[in-house]
Amino acid sequence: MRVAVLAAEAVPYSKTGGLGDVAGALPKALRRVGVDSLLITPLYRQTKENLLDHLAIDDLRIDWRGREVSAQVYYSEASGAPTFLIHAPEMFFRDSIYGYREDYERFAFFNHAAIVLLRRVGKPLDIVHLNDWHCGFAAVEIAKLRRYGDGFWRNTRTVFSIHNLAYQGAFGMEELWKLGFGDDFSRNAFAFDGAASAMKAGLADSDMLSTVSRRYGFEIQQAENGYGLDWLLRQRSDRLHGIVNGVDYDVWNPETDPELPAHFSAHDLSGKRECKRALLNKFFLPENLDQPIFASVTRLTAQKGFELIQQAIGEILATGAYFIALGSGAKESEDFLQRLRNHAPNQVGIYIGYNETLAHQIEAGADMFLMPSRFEPCGLNQMYSLRYGTVPIVRAVGGLDDTVGNFDRVSGAGNGFKFDEFRADKFVEKIYEALFNYHEPEVWRRIQGNGMTIDNSWENAARKYVRLYQMTRA
Ligand code: ADP
Ligand code: GLC
């Protein structure tokens, strides 16, 4: 089976969040389970040059907005799978990966270039695996090529994965003409609520749909979480499958992680104490190893429920615990963190910004990880936390609900703490429940062990994708 994965971001080339982790890991995992996979992603200014192996195509000719433009394509295997990076500097060499008025146009170009590239590479594909709204354009283009009886694409099927329905890539319907989607077939796919939606196009025109957890798969079929597209997801529910993301244990493994000052495993946690000491030192916090560290590593957006942390933080600090946060995003949340640190400099450590190394060190050094999301399609940090013996306290939504089980003192089952309603008092209850158990070391080690020994590997998830790919033929 031959599969091309398309994604707007992919580790190690680019990343703003979990999509990058997933797109970087899935093609490699697919290869490990016997699939001939490759990855296509844009080459950004942020992409480290030393990851590129060679210039594969110097002059990829692309019809674009009525004229012919040329792009280059670089080749790399740094992701663990053959990777083609589309180099079109005017589109992708910018200060950030997203956030431009014409993002829809940039990613429409990326999709179109990927399709031209795949044909140029020459071997027909069984599956083109598309991710989030940035790849909705390719779903329509491939469906159209098939309708027109194009021999190269005749046997190709598309799978579209929803990582976050909240971002839809909306733009004006009048733009569709310029992007080559002016025909009725395409317009119908994109049309949504008086505008064009790249997300809707992907959902409408892909052979198979998936999302990154089972629970999120149900949630988005309800009006409250459907962003106006729940009807379409209900209509296509026989095509919609939930597959929880994996963890790339080549990157997130406390036994080998090169970012850590000491290593540890479920059998020997002594290295974790060293990581905790180093983390406290790093943030110039007093070295009181008996006090727990609550941590958060996150994009500061409405999705992540940061206001619950804001409301609960007083209670956390009143117990004497530490709080360490790494994140960037909404200015109000960043300002709040600054004020909090000024207010309690001996208990609070913050880093505003993006820092990969620190993300690893926090996962390793902290005791509890806070993730009270409003919604969470999958969430990766709670799974990283599990592997690093950092007990997650999460809201029971989306992938958080699928991956974290509330600890039960009687049976000894469960790997974290989980609350339902989006309310600070419910969150605080779980924080106290966690603290109560934290102060019984044997019980705590049990909870940690339950999390550390779970197999959330990508190979598991990759096998599920293979079955999904096979189902596109059924
Ligand atoms: P989302 O994709 O919605 O942001 P996920 O939990 O799926 O949520 O993935 C977030 C990923 O981004 C994780 O790998 C996490 O470590 C990383 N991350 C988020 N914020 C930061 C940050 N400020 N610095 C470093 N890594 C971050
Ligand atoms: C999105 C979601 C996150 C998920 C990630 C990877 O960014 O917000 O929950 O883990 O995609 O699928």
Compute the distance from residue 102 Cα to the ligand 2 centre, in Å.
23
What residues flank ligand 2, with Cβ below 6 Å?
A: 17-19, 22, 163-164, 212, 245, 376-380, 399
Dihedral angle at the C-alpha atoms of 151, 155, 161, 166, nearest 10 degrees?
40
CA distance 270 to 406: 25
Residue 327 CB–ligand 1 contact under 6 Å:
yes
Q: Find the ligand nearest to 361 CA.
A: 1
The answer to whether residue 21 scores a pLDDT higher than 90 is yes
Based on the domain organization, do 325 and 223 belong to the same domain?
no
Atom of ligand 2 nearest to the CA of 376: 9
DSSP 220-252: TTSGGGSTT-HHHHHHTGGGEEE----B-TTTS
Contacts of 85 (CB under 8 A, 6+ apart): 13, 40, 41, 42, 43, 47, 52, 73, 74, 75, 76
* Global pTM exceeds 0.85: yes
> Which ranges in 269-421 belong to alpha helices (H)?
270-282, 306-318, 331-343, 356-365, 381-387, 398-403
Based on the domain organization, do 110 and 12 belong to the same domain?
yes
Compute the distance from residue 15 Cα to the ligand 1 centre, in Å.
9
CA distance 6 to 213: 20
Look at the chain and report how many structural domains it folds into.
2
Residue 18 CB–ligand 1 contact under 6 Å:
yes
pLDDT tens track for 381-438: 999 999 999 999 999 999 999 999 999 999 999 999 999 999 999 999 999 999 999 9
Please count the helices (runs of H) and the strands (runs of E) in the chain: 18, 18
Based on the domain organization, do 302 and 239 belong to the same domain?
no
* Per-residue confidence (pLDDT) for residue 380, from 0 to 100: 98
Based on the domain organization, do 49 and 185 belong to the same domain?
yes
Q: Is the dihedral of CA 82, 88, 89, 91 positive or negative?
A: negative
Our mutation pick for probing the ligand 2 site, out of 212, 220, 376, counting the most ligand atoms within 8 A of Cβ, is 212
Question: CATH no. for residue 421?
Answer: 3.40.50.2000
CA distance 6 to 95: 22
Relative to beta strand 67-76, strand 322-329 is unpaired
Q: Is residue 408 part of a domain?
A: yes
Read off the tokens for 175. Answer: 């733009």
Based on the domain organization, do 463 and 451 belong to the same domain?
no
Compute the distance from residue 376 Cα to the ligand 1 centre, in Å.
12
Q: Whose CA is nearest to atom 10 of ligand 2?
A: 379
Q: Is residue 56 part of a domain?
A: yes
* Per-residue confidence (pLDDT) for residue 155, from 0 to 100: 96
Domain limits for position 406: 270-455
50-to-13, 47, 76, 77, 91 alpha-carbon distances in Å: 10, 9, 10, 11, 21
Based on the domain organization, do 468 and 433 belong to the same domain?
no
Based on the domain organization, do 131 and 86 belong to the same domain?
yes
The answer to whether residue 474 scores a pLDDT higher than 90 is no
Based on the domain organization, do 139 and 168 belong to the same domain?
yes
Residue 380 CB–ligand 1 contact under 6 Å:
yes
pLDDT tens track for 60-114: 999 999 899 999 999 999 999 999 999 999 999 999 999 999 999 999 999 999 9
Q: Within 10 A of 466 (CB to CB), how many other CB atoms are there? A: 17
Q: Find the ligand nearest to 164 CA.
A: 2
373-to-83, 149, 327, 343, 407 alpha-carbon distances in Å: 33, 45, 14, 25, 19
Based on the domain organization, do 443 and 466 belong to the same domain?
no
Residue 376 CB–ligand 1 contact under 6 Å:
no
Our mutation pick for probing the ligand 2 site, out of 129, 213, 380, 397, counting the most ligand atoms within 8 A of Cβ, is 380
pLDDT tens track for 309-351: 999 999 999 999 999 999 999 999 999 999 999 999 999 999 9
Compute the distance from residue 286 Cα to the ligand 1 centre, in Å.
27
Q: Is residue 263 part of a domain?
A: no
235-to-60, 203, 471, 474 alpha-carbon distances in Å: 39, 11, 18, 18
Q: Is residue 411 part of a domain?
A: yes
Based on the domain organization, do 328 and 395 belong to the same domain?
yes
Based on the domain organization, do 277 and 183 belong to the same domain?
no
Compute the distance from residue 245 Cα to the ligand 2 centre, in Å.
9
The answer to whether residue 252 scores a pLDDT higher than 80 is yes
What is the pLDDT averaged over residues 204-224? 98
Q: Is residue 251 part of a domain?
A: no
Q: Is residue 252 part of a domain?
A: no
Compute the distance from residue 76 Cα to the ligand 1 centre, in Å.
24
Q: Is residue 169 part of a domain?
A: yes
Based on the domain organization, do 241 and 321 belong to the same domain?
no
| CB 462, CB 246: distance < 8 Å | yes
Q: Is residue 261 part of a domain?
A: no
